[in-house]
């Protein structure tokens, strides 16, 4: 059992602001920090802290030593991460007082990893291991197709939303995970209901309104969000996806996996940061115990 995460590794530059800037506005930040981020790295850290054995596949640039160390400290196996010339991917993240954010991405090494290197990093996969992917790398469709061929379960967090990427990857996906905005974009673009998407399971996260799991031919499962004081929503979807993959990997049924992921995300949004805010298994279990 293992979660293999093929995904981005970013250096996040986080600015706390009185509000998100309007076009043409210059705004002084109230705070700044730099930390490990990237949807892939965040999901790897979330899954590892939630108890899974995690192998990350990706790339950093020549300035990526600290990001790599951050993944390793969280317990992520980074044998499949290459160090390439050029910059590590990075993100400029602006967070306003209610915890909402805006993000600008520079892909850097994330999109420079060759298909051959990514494929080679799948060495050692076992039947029923999980492949977790997002949209901040190149070659997702090829890697997902190879993973299915190896007998893996493919969990696809379709963020940031990109219709072409979703359409290319969807034929090789078991479980598609989106937030409500991404789900609405997909439905509007394709004009089909979730039940008719060519994937077995569709998970939609809706922030304070909880999350749902729909499988073809079965009643949808809805889990509520756990009430917490929201400090920072950045990376909440990554936390949910990583924790969900960890729970599915240890054999949890969908409802149990969804409750586990919802508890992890509730803890994550109650603290500032992305990868650094991912909760430990013990914290998730304690919150689930408290909430009955």
Answer yes or no whether residue 38 interacts with ligand RIB by CB under 6 A. Answer: yes
- Between 65-73 and 39-49, two packed helices, what is the crossing angle to 10 degrees? 20
Answer yes or no whether residue 37 interacts with ligand RIB by CB under 6 A. Answer: yes
Per-residue x/- marks for ligand RIB, 110-139, CB under 6 A? --------------------------x---
Each as own residue / partner, the long-range contacts of residues 258-261 (CB below 8 Å, 24 or more positions apart, any chain) are 258/203, 258/211, 258/213, 258/221, 258/223, 259/223, 259/288, 260/50, 260/284, 260/288, 261/211
Spatial distance between the Cα atoms of 33 and 207, rounded to a whole number of angstroms: 25
Helix (H, G, I), strand (E, B) or coil at 163: helix
- Using CB under 6 A as the binding rule, the residues of this chain from 193 to 232 that contact ligand RIB are none
Instruction: Name which of 8 and 201 has its Cβ closer to ligand RIB.
Output: 8
> Among candidates 241, 275, 5, 245, which has minimal Cα distance to 118?
5
Answer yes or no whether residue 12 interacts with ligand RIB by CB under 6 A. Answer: yes
Number of residues in contact with ligand RIB, rule: CB under 6 A?
15
Stretch that binds ligand RIB, among 53-61, 137-145, 161-169, 234-242 (CB under 6 A): 234-242
Q: CB 91 → ligand RIB: shortest distance, Å?
A: 3
Q: What is the number of alpha carbons within 13 Å of residue 170 lying toward its C-beta?
A: 18
Q: Is residue 238 among the annotated active site residues?
A: yes
Strands 3-6 and 130-133: parallel
Q: Residue from 88, 137, 234, 268 that binds ligand RIB (CB under 6 A)?
A: 234
Q: Measured at CB, which residue is nearest to ligand RIB? A: 37
- Using CB under 6 A as the binding rule, the residues of this chain from 260 to 279 that contact ligand RIB are 274
N- to C-terminal Cα distance for the chain? 28
Active-site residue list = 238
Contact footprint for ligand RIB (CB under 6 A): 8, 10, 12, 37-39, 42, 91, 103, 105, 136, 234-235, 238, 274
């Amino acid at each position: 059992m293992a979660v293999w995460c093929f995904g981005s590794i970013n250096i996040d530059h986080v600015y706390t602001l009185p509000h998100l800037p309007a076009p043409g506005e210059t705004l002084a930040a109230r705070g700044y920090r730099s930390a490990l981020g990237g949807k892939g790295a965040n999901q790897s850290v979330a899954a590892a802290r939630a108890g899974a054995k995690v192998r990350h596949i990706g790339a950093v640039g020549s300035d990526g030593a600290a990001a790599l160390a951050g993944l390793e400290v969280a317990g992520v196996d980074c044998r499949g991460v290459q160090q390439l010339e050029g910059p590590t991917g990075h993100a400029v993240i602006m967070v306003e007082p209610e915890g909402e954010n805006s993000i600008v991405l520079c892909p850097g090494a994330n999109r420079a990893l060759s298909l051959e290197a990514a494929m080679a990093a799948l060495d050692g996969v076992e039947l029923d291991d999980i492949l977790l992917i997002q949209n901040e790398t190149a070659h997702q469709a090829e890697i997902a197709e190879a993973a299915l061929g190896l007998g893996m379960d493919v969990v696809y967090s379709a963020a940031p939303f990109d219709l072409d990427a979703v359409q290319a990857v969807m034929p090789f996906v078991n479980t598609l995970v989106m937030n409500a905005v991404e789900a609405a974009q997909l439905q509007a673009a394709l004009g089909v209901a979730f039940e008719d998407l060519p994937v077995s399971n569709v998970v939609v996260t809706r922030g304070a309104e909880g999350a749902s799991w729909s499988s073809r031919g079965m009643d949808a499962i809805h889990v509520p969000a756990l009430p917490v004081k929201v400090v920072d929503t950045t990376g909440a979807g990554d936390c949910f996806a990583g924790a969900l993959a960890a729970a599915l990997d240890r054999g949890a049924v969908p409802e149990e996996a969804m409750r586990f992921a919802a508890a992890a995300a509730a803890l994550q949004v109650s603290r500032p940061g992305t990868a650094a805010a991912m909760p430990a298994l013990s914290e998730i279990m304690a919150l689930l115990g408290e909430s009955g």
